[in-house]
Each structure stands twice: as C-alpha cells, then as structure tokens.
Structure 1
C-alpha cells in the first residue's frame, strides 16, 4: 500500500514538474516568437497619403475597357511549324544523315488592315515551314509571309478571308510619353487574348549595347508568346509591337520592350511598296555624350550626339555638318543619346529631308539634310567599303570594283603591312567580280560559314594582288 501511494505521489509530482516546465519555458518561447513579429518600434517610412489617394483616384478614373475591346479582336495567335535539326542517333551518324524534327512555335500578331495584313516579329515566323493564325473568334487561317526585316525584328503576314477582319490603327509612338498608361495584348503561354496594363517606363532603349535598337520600355506584363502582340495606348492606338523581355528566368520580371509603331509602320510600308526595307542615312559618325566623354572632348554638353566625323558624299557632308558638332534635335525630336538618333532614322527613307538642330562653338544652328541610301558595307577583317565612283575606277585603271574607305582598326597595322589601305579597290571576292556593295553582300550570304575569303585588290601602286582571309 505504501509503495502504491509512493508511486501515485511520484506521478503527481512528475506531472506538476512537467506542466510547470511547459508553462515556464515552452509557452514563454511561443509568446516571444509572436512578440518578435510585431515590433514596438517599426521602421518609419514617410508617406504622403494625400498624394497616394489622388494618384489612386486618377488611376481609378482611367477606363481600359474601350482600348482592350478595340485591340483584343485584332490580335491573333500565330503558330509556326518549323523544321529543326534533331539529336542524331548512331544510325544517323553511320549513314551520314542529318535528322530533322517538326517543332511548333507560337507568338502573337496584330491585324493592321481589314483585308488581312498582319504585323508580327521576325523571330516568331523565322524558319517556318507552315504558318497559321487563330483569330479571337477561334477561326484558324493559313498565313503567308510577305516580307521581314531581321534588323528591326518586324515581319508582315497576309491571310485571306471572305469577310473584312477587325484591325487596329497605328498611333504616333514619337508622341507617347513616359508614365503614360499602356496595354499589352497577346497570347502568353498559349493563353489567348490576354490583356495586361502598365505604363511606359522609358523610350529609346538599346539592349544590344551597339546603338542598333530603340525600344519602348514598359512594365506591362509580357511573357513568352506575347512576341508580335500589340502595345496600345488608352485610345486603343497601336504604339508598339511587343518584342522582348529581360529576365534571368525567361519570364516577366518587370521589364518588357516593344518596337515603336513609327518604326514598325515604316518597315511594313517599305515591304509593301519595295519588297525590302529602305534605310536613309544621315552620314555622321560619333556617339552619345555623357559627363566622362564631354570632359574628354572639352565640351560643356552632356546630352546629344557628338559628331566625330562626317562621311563623304552624304547628306550631312552636303549640308555642312562638321566634326565637333553636337546634334540636339531632328524635326523637333530631342536627341539625348545615340539610340534616339537611331530610332528616328529608322522611320525615314532615302531622299527624305530632315531639319537638324545642332550646337557648334556654343551657337545653335539648323540645317536641312537630305537622307541618302546607305552605300557603305562592313567587310569582315578588311573594314568599311563603299561603291566606287567613276573617277576612283579610272584612277586605279579598272572597270569594276568597290572602294575601301576605312580599314579595320583591330587589324589595321597588319593590313597596311600587306599593302591594304583606305582608297584601294576590291575587284573580286571568291573569284566573283564585284561592282557594288550589294554584290559583296550577296557573295558573303551565299558562302559557307567556314569558307575563307579570297579577295582580289588593286593597291595604290596599281598592283593587283590576291589575299586569303579567314
């Protein structure tokens, strides 16, 4: 009996100790955790509630439904069946076969006319063997490629329909402003007719680092499948063709980019009228100004395009633009950096006349410049070449050829040691006579990637030499 009472007493005492320990330590820890999540002294963030309320009220007053309704019916789902090289099997390797597989790619496009012309990205339809578009009413139509321009990543398609199609109209991307509301309409991840909203974050963005692009940047959500879709303003006007995103994951993280509508429209019109894109050049060589560059040059401007050199036989040379001039504006479009100038020129054709506002010795000057067709070409290893004038050919006693205007800076000393310098005439490439830079371009496009270049050249001494280049 005593043993039993002792066991009961020990059990009660053990339970009391256990409960006391739980109350003292475990419950205290839980309370401490909860306390830590609600600090008594939070970090203070200054907030203007009046401004926030006003901004929200302004946002609530904007109606996107009309713009979305105008656009969603004009945006199509583009499906591209392409043949790509597949992983070879042992049998393929044994028989020397190159296996191919059909691969489906998807994107978006925008109907720009009631008779079925559609604008999209070049990368959406590249290498296509079979192309179709699905309209917002679920009809699927076969599409054909009218033309494309890899440089601007714009392509023009055409579909046939028994009835007029809904379409969107071009807006003026030059007048679009940073902070303006926009809608992105497309087919991300095969989700058809998707509309997202955002603002214009920046203009004249260059992602290449070579000042060859001039995108509109927006924070409207754009994902794979949106390429070729519409970027429209609140009036439903097309101000851009959604083209690219920057992301480490491949999906949207807040930055997307569109080809401005003024560039896209010009490319489409050129394809319709000429079958290719007509580019007008100003004829200046230089770069964007910034604090470092301005200090180095000894100029007081940190914005604009600084002219290092002017190409001969160009509109800029004829208009009297000189080295050291700073281009600040063209046709009332401000030029703050190279991509501003690039974006403007991409909307112009040869023989267009533009008014250039520039600074020279601190004085503002305005000149009219006639844009000309680009007659220069970058020949690998050698440098810049252009169409030779009759007097150039006469001087070198030849009836055909193109002229070297600038040797490659990387190989300059080596080329000069070999007798290759500016002014020389190239008469043939890979044993094919050349008369124009178009001939050179065609030869290079048709050659195999690893095929060496054979160049026939007349130097300043009148000697004809042949060079093999890789």
Structure 2
C-alpha cells in the first residue's frame, strides 16, 4: 500500500511539475544556460592545487587517516577492531610508520604562495603541492592560524604561476551561484556548482565563526580549496561540511574572503597573525538586560571589563557600556564585535559607538595587537600564586529579593574565596538553591561590584540600590559580579 501510494504521488508530482514548467515557459531559466561554467572553470583550474601531506606516527597510535565509514557500518567496526587488536598485540609499541592525507589549496601569488586550511597540514612532516599540470613541488609552511583554520605554503616554481583574485564576500547574496574546485577523495581537480545557502553561520568552530553556507558539493579532500563567485573571484575557503556519513549532503561551509584575506596577508608578511585588540571583555545582551541598560532592544556587545592600560581604557570606554557600532557598521552580537576588531589593522584608529546608561556617544580608539596582549596576560597569570584559605568571616546581610547572603570583604573572606586585594565590592557567602540568583548561576564566592551600573562598596550600598529598584518597579536587578578575576553582568529577577 505504501509503495503504491509513493508511486502514485511521485507520478502526480512529476506531471504537475511538467505542466507548471510548460505553462510558465521559463521556469528552467533559474539555472544558468548549459556550459555557463565551462569557460570559468577552464580559467580557474590552473590556480587550484592538490596538497599531499605525510605524517610519521608512533607504533600503536591509531592513524588519523584511518578510513571513515557511516556510523554503524560493519566496515567501521572491522577497521576499529583491526587497529585496536594491533595496538594490544604490540603492547602499544611498534616501529614508526608514515600516513598520508590529501587536501586542496589555491595560489594567491604568482611567486608561489598557496592558501589552504590549517587542519590540512597540521602535524605534517612533509607537504607537497601538485599543480594542475601534475607538477609536484615541495612546500614550506610559511605561517598558520588555527583560529580561522588558515595556513600559507610557499613553493619555488620554475616560472610564474596562475594566481586568483579575492572577491568581496560582504556583497554575497543568498541564492547567488558559486563554484567549488578541489581535490575530493584524492580524485584531483574537481569542479562543483551550487548556490549560497546562507551567510553568517556559527558552527562553534571558534570565536571568529562567520561561515558562508553553500550546497555546492564539498567532500573530504576539498578542505582548503576555493569557493568562487561567477566573476571568478575567491569569496570563500571551503573548510567544513555537515554530514553524518562523511560525504556531501549539500551543507558545506566556507571561511568568507573578507575574514580570510587579512589573515593571509599577515601570514605572508609576518609569518603570524597581528590582529587588532580593543582591550575589553564582552558578553551578550539578553532581553532581561534591556531595561536595566537603557536599551530599546537586545543588541550590541556589553563591556564586562576594561583591561587596564588597553586601547578601550585610553578611549574612555567603561564597564557597562554597550558597543553598538564600529566605524559606522552595526554591531549586533559579541561575535560581530570580535570579528570587526580582529579584522582591523594594529595601530588603526576606529570609531566606537556605544550606549552608556541609555545615552548614545562615540569615542575614538587606537587598536593594539591581540597576540601581544594575550602573551602578556599569560605571563602575568603564570607569575601569580595561590593564597592559602581560611574560614569565612561573619556580619552577613540577607537579600531575600535575590535569594542570597552578602558580607563585606575582609582579610579572611579574601583568603577563603581567593579574592585579590584590589577587588572592591561585597562577597556572596550563601545562595538559596531555589532563589532567583541561583537560577542565574550566581555562586558563593562571587563578588558583587555593581548593582544597576552603580558601584557598591558595602552591604548597605546593595540594599539601598535594591530598594530603589523596587520603588521604581523594576523587575530585574543587573549585577556585575567578579568570579576568579573575571567580571560579567548577570540579570537577576527581583522577587515580587
């Protein structure tokens, strides 16, 4: 019955489609005319390369290049059992062996600079680039950036190579045609076409996620290859696919050209990245924070902390400010701010639009270097030691509206909760597990620094601020707390 039903449904659908196309007289024109990509592919293929890597692994290790099969496949279990048996019988030891893997790349400079994904050449002992005419060249790794998954290779050709041009990925529209060229499953130069399915995808690959989604067929081995627009410009680097089987199901992701291009330029020039740094720690603005921050809607990036001596502090940016635009370009999320700053050159002065206690203002900030700031912070953190711990102090104040208890900071409590001497505020000593604060993951040992964007130095300051909020019929108290040296804003509902 079901099979018959599907046959009938399929036949009716086919008839309906035929009649619709016949009456519309041009529905098929949505696709490019036959051969539309032929000249473009012929022009671009010489600039796309295959990448072969060799890695030496110790005996007993499961090779990264082990064949991948659909989950539940008998072949998957066979290979897994085979390698595990080898490992057991060899006692986890054995002679080193070499494994190979394949990927894709493209030439961005006729002198021999090649772009690929970092994961394509990660841990490789040897990298070879195979040109479109099958010429094989040894490649040197110039630089890599795991954050955006990009690496730069350099080969020494006997003559100038064919290079491609970058396009403007910000101008991409959903529905535009794209061309992917790469080395799927080691087959060599392969061309596939599809459309831009979506933009700005966050797939939790990193803090700079801003992927282009395409339904052009992308498979294992396509990683590092280019995604072109119809003008023949690179508008993305094919990096990942969504698949349960390891094969293409029409959901591929590419790093946008406007994010990749400055990274590529920095790696070629410096051998490492030099990203812009504003010097703030940020968090998302939630619907519960809107009223407390004086906003009309939940957008922007909330400044939880301003790094002392950083560009933001020098520009006059303060904790509690909500950054809503950089150089006139809207900042709707924390990721948008992170990308906008990282894509800006070190030493560049940017315009920062922000909202402070409901009022809009604009400041100028000259960006520092993110990598230098991270190295400095890491060295400073390593130099710090841990304090010994003792019993907490008394003099607690009950805050029934929030479901917690607080106490003034003293020497004993600082030691109890490992709170540094320069931290000011009141410490939370107990949290009602069924109260509003517990629902927002507020914990004992957290230090309340601000209530409703006003500093608090003692429990009386907190109780007065809470009373003022209730008198104003506010439903949420916006707390700024510090935990393990890191500040963040927490909206806590007030009990009726």
* Same fold (TM > 0.5): yes
| 1:75 lines up with 2:75 in the alignment | no
Counterpart mapping for 1:289-308 below 5 A: 289=285, 291=287, 294=290, 299-308=295-304
Instruction: Please list, as runs of the form range in 1=range in 2, the aligned pairs for 1:19-58 lying within 5 A after superposition.
Output: 37-38=7-8, 56-58=28-30
CA–CA distance in 1 between the matches of 2:422 and 2:44?
54
1:170 shift after superposition: 1.3
The answer as to whether partners of 1:204 and 1:340 remain within 8 angstroms in 2 is no
Q: Is the 8 A contact 1:288 1:336 kept in 2?
A: no
Output one character per residue of 1:97-144: Cα deviation in whole Å (capped at 9) or x when no partner.
553221010000111111111010111111112211111112222211
SS in 1 for 2:245: coil
SS at match of 1:106: strand
| Corresponding residue for residue 120 of structure 1 | 116
1:417 counterpart residue number:
416
* Counterpart selection for 2:335 from 334, 339, 344: 339
Equivalenced residue count is 368
Task: Tell me, in whole angstroms, the C-alpha distance in 2 between the residues paired with 1:110 and 1:73.
Answer: 9
Q: CA deviation at 1:385?
A: 5.3
2:352 aligns to what?
Answer: 356
Q: Counterparts of 2:22 and 2:414 in 1: how far apart (Å)?
A: 68
2:439 corresponds in structure 1 to: none
Give, in whole Å, the separation in 2 of the partners of 1:36 and 1:154: 47
Equivalent positions of 1:172-321 (< 5 A) are: 172-208=168-204, 211-289=207-285, 291=287, 294=290, 299-321=295-317
CA distance in 2 between partners of 1:53 and 1:362 (Å)? 56
Q: TM-score by structure 2 length?
A: 0.64
SS at match of 1:196: strand
Indicate yes or no: 2:160 matched with 1:164.
Answer: yes
Q: 2:95 aligns to what? A: 99
Give me the whole-angstrom Cα distance separating, in 1, the residues matched to 2:314 and 2:124. Answer: 44
Gaps of at least 5 residues in structure 2 are: 61-85, 386-411, 424-496
Residue number in structure 2 paired with 1:109: 105
Deviates more, 1:270-279 or 1:104-113: 270-279
Match of 1:60 among 17, 32, 35: 32
Matched residues in 1 for 2:23 and 2:330: separation?
Answer: 31
Q: Are 1:120 and 1:154, in contact at CA under 8 Å, matched by a contact in 2?
A: yes
CA distance in 2, matches of 1:175, 1:33: 46
Change (3 A) 1:33 1:103: closer
Which residue is equivalent to 1:142?
Answer: 138
How far off its partner does 1:186 sit? Answer: 0.7
User: Which of the two has higher C-alpha Rg?
Assistant: 1
1:323 corresponds, among 310, 319, 326, to 319
1:84 maps to 2:57 = yes
Deviations 1:188-222 (CA, angstroms, capped at 9, x unpaired): 11122212222223333332276343322222221
Secondary structure at the residue paired with 1:73? helix
Q: How far apart are 1:402 and its partner, in Å? A: 5.2
How much does 1:292 deviate? 5.5
Deviates more, 1:58-67 or 1:81-90: 58-67
Q: Report the alpha carbon displacement of residue 241 of structure 1 after superposing the two structures with TM.
A: 1.1
Question: Could you list the per-position Cα deviations for residues 288-337 of structure 1 after superposition, in whole angstroms to 9, with x for gaps in the alignment?
Answer: 34545647866322333232332222222222223333333323433222
Compare 221-230 and 367-376 and name the one that shifted more: 367-376
Where structure 1 has 5 or more consecutive residues not aligned to the other structure, the ranges are 1-28, 389-400, 405-412, 425-470
